[in-house]
Structures are given as structure tokens and as C-alpha cells.
């Protein structure tokens, strides 16, 4: 039983990792998106953006435009802005198990196709920095901070918008806490802000120190960011009940930074009460009646997160909905932990679920742009 759960955990956590594309890296693991002004035609199906988050990620629309009717088309001009005001550069922060160019493959992209899609919408500055794949968010957050400072230097922008999936959201909170002067917003997607029961379970399994040594010895060829400080155990300790309590006490929200969170729900759960939000923008509210079948990859992990046979706690296979809430909770998407970033390798959400992660991230960026960020 332990072996099967550990195996499922290891595979499932790949969905928490960062696979920044090889061509996205300048020094420090960041890379500027090249310009393109092509914008898709607006659509009206449930996957289309509407109102606050039109899918026109290159829009520089005002907050007033955000109150327009569902499915309306926003200005698709490129998001150049000025150095002093928004729209600000977008930094996509990856999660646990991250790699920049896995085993030198040169094609593995964590946010599958997202950066390229945003480029086509006219987003000129999209960055995908890579940090240590296995470590706590204090360590990873400092690495992300260095990357953000490099973006500021490169672009001349005053601030950035941080979008973090899974542990990447915790890393983003570290950056915002330490340097609120260069962070406009932190938007998290299925981030375990209140920990994970999987971590508590994993820490009961002996041999953590041995695992760290093996990761350091054999992980280097696969994950370029690995060094002697890399620690899988440190990550698990942070996600534990005690570890996350200490993290939240240390890295408090910074005044002046806009914090928002989105959760994922799978296993055919609708979770109307857990996902309810008075602040839900239409691009999330429109998913209320759509379900997602859990990927078999998460069978073991979901059994733990779900709370057992007689329990049904809404989650995405790794992170519970309630544990993903931080700042302004915007609502849920019908997706498991890897559907949220388009994996495995763009294979779709499964079943009849029409969730499209590319449109989702267009909407998230559109939501920020509508607020002048």
C-alpha cells in the first residue's frame, strides 16, 4: 500500500513541477517573449473568456471595460504600457518537481503552450524562470526573486505580475513579502496555502535523507537546477501541517500587492459550496456545472486528499479546494492538478470536459489587465 501511494505521489507531483521551455531562458532562468499581434476571434462557448478576463490577454482595457457583457471583445492591442504603470510583465512560477529542460529533451514546457499562446495575443513580456525542483519555498522564493529582479532590469518595468501554479504560488508569496515594491499582484492556481495531507503522510515514510542523496546524485542530468542544497524532504516538511503554519506566519501578505487564488476540482465533483465566491469573474463562474474525471495518475494521492472512502473533500487530486484559498478567492476550474497546466503534454482534460488551459490563462491575464495590472 505504501509503495503504491509513494509511486502515485511521485508521478502525480510531476504535475506540480516546472518544465520551462529551453528557449525561454536568459541568465537567471528567464526569457522575454517575442512580439506578435495575432488575436483569436472571440467565442461564446464555456471555454471562452468573458467580462473580466476576455481571453484577449494583450488587452490594455480599463476596469470599466471589465463590466461589459459576457463574451464581449476587448481591445487586442499589445501590452506594452510604460515602465511606471501597467500592464506589467507576466512571470509564470512553476511548482514542485520542476525542470527547465528535462533530460535535454528541449520540448517539455511546464505551462504547456501557454507562453506561446500569450505571445500570439500580443503579450510582449512573459517569463518562465526555473528554480530548484525540490526544495522549500524560502529557498525557491529567493531564486525566483533573483529572476524577477532580472526581469525588472531587462524590461525597465516597475513591477511584475506573478502567476504561480502549485508550490509556485508559495514561491511567489515569498517574493511579494520580501519585495512588495516590485510585485503588482500574486495569482495562485491550486497552491497548497494551507498544506497537504499527502505531505504529512509522506513524512511518516522512513528514508528521507537517502532520497535526498539519490536526488542530488542522479537528478542533475534531468533537472539542471539541482545542487547540493536540493532537498525533497524540505519540500514535504513545508507542506506539512506544522510546516505550512510556520510558513504562513513568516511570509505574510504585503500591503499594496493584489492577492487572488483559484482552485481546481476533479473526480466529478461540482463542490458548489466550497467553490462559491462573490468575487468570481464570469470566466470561472461559467464552469459551475462542468465536471472533470480524475486522471488515474492521481488515484493513490486523491484517496488521501479526499479524506477516505466515506469522505468526499473536493480537490484536484493533490490540493484540496479549501487549502488553495488565499487572498481574494475567485472560484474553481474543472481540472485536476496537471490539467491545470495542460499536461500530460496537452492531452486534454478527459471525458466530455471541454476545459481549455490555454483559454484559462488568457482569462487570468485578461483579468489582471482589466484591473490595470
Q: Residue 188 forms beta bridges with which residues?
A: 164, 261
The span from the CA of 282 to the CA of 53, in Å, is 8
Longest dimension (CA), the chain: 57
Cell numbers 528557449 correspond to: 23
Integer Cα distance of 90 and 33 in angstroms: 10
Torsion angles phi and psi, residue 79, rounded to 5: -90, 70
53 in Cβ contact with 63 (< 8 Å): no
Question: Catalytic one among 21, 39, 61, 166?
Answer: 166
106 C-beta neighbours (distance < 10 Å), count: 10
Annotated active-site residue in 292, 316, 339, 356: 316
Active site residue 185: no
21 in active site: no
Q: Which sign, positive or negative, has the C-alpha torsion 206, 210, 214, 216?
A: positive
**Are residues 170 and 164 in contact, defined by beta-carbon separation less than 8 angstroms?**
yes
Question: What CA–CA distance (Å, rounded) separates 30 from 308?
Answer: 41
Distance separating alpha carbons of residues 127 and 9, to the nearest angstrom: 28
Distance CA 166, CA 131 (A): 14
Is 188 buried (19+), middle (13-18) or exposed (0-12) by CB count in 10 A? buried
Give dist(CA 92, CA 204) in Å, integer.
Answer: 32
- Pick the catalytic residue from 94, 337, 343, 357: 337
Where is 265: in which H helix or E strand?
strand 258-265
Degrees, nearest 5: CA angle 111-116-117: 90
The closest alpha carbon to 90, from 82, 79, 101, belongs to 79
User: Does the annotation count 166 as an active-site position?
Assistant: yes
- Residues taking part in catalysis: 166, 316, 337
Amino acid at each position: 500500500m505504501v509503495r503504491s501511494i509513494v509511486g502515485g505521489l511521485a508521478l502525480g507531483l510531476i504535475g506540480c513541477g516546472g518544465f520551462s521551455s529551453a528557449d525561454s531562458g536568459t541568465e537567471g532562468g528567464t526569457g522575454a517573449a517575442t512580439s506578435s499581434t495575432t488575436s483569436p476571434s472571440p467565442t461564446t462557448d464555456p471555454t471562452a473568456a468573458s467580462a473580466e478576463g476576455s481571453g484577449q490577454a494583450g488587452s490594455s482595457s480599463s476596469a470599466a471595460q471589465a463590466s461589459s457583457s459576457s463574451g464581449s471583445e476587448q481591445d487586442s492591442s499589445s501590452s506594452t504600457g510604460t515602465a511606471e504603470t501597467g500592464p506589467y510583465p507576466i512571470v509564470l512560477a512553476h511548482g514542485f518537481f520542476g525542470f527547465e529542460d528535462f533530460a535535454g529533451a528541449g520540448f517539455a514546457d511546464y505551462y504547456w503552450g501557454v507562453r506561446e499562446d500569450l505571445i500570439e495575443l500580443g503579450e510582449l513580456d512573459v517569463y518562465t524562470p526555473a528554480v530548484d525542483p525540490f526544495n522549500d519555498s524560502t529557498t525557491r522564493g529567493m531564486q525566483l526573486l533573483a529572476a524577477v529582479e532580472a526581469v525588472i532590469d531587462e524590461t525597465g518595468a516597475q513591477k511584475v505580475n506573478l502567476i504561480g501554479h502549485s508550490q509556485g504560488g508559495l514561491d511567489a508569496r515569498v517574493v511579494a513579502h520580501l519585495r512588495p515594491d516590485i510585485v503588482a499582484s500574486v495569482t495562485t492556481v491550486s497552491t497548497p496555502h494551507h498544506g497537504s495531507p499527502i505531505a504529512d503522510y509522506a513524512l511518516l515514510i522512513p528514508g528521507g535523507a537517502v532520497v535526498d542523496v539519490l536526488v542530488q546524485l542522479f537528478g542533475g542530468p534531468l533537472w539542471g537546477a539541482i545542487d547540493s542544497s536540493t532537498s525533497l524532504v524540505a519540500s514535504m516538511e513545508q507542506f506539512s501541517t506544522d510546516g505550512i503554519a510556520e510558513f504562513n506566519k513568516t511570509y505574510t501578505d504585503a500591503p499594496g500587492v493584489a492577492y487572488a487564488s483559484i482552485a481546481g476540482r476533479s473526480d466529478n465533483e461540482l463542490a458548489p459550496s466550497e467553490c462559491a465566491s462573490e468575487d468570481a469573474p464570469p470566466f470561472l463562474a461559467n464552469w459551475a456545472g462542468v465536471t472533470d474525471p480524475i486522471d488515474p495518475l492521481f488515484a493513490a494521492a486523491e484517496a488521501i486528499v479526499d479524506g477516505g472512502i466515506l469522505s468526499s473533500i473536493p480537490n484536484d487530486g493533490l490540493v484540496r479546494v479549501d487549502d488553495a484559498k488565499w487572498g481574494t478567492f475567485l472560484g474553481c476550474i474543472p481540472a485536476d492538478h496537471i490539467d491545470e497546466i495542460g499536461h500530460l503534454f496537452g492531452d486534454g482534460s478527459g471525458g466530455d470536459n471541454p476545459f481549455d488551459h490555454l483559454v484559462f490563462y488568457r482569462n487570468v491575464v485578461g483579468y489582471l489587465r482589466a484591473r490595470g495590472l
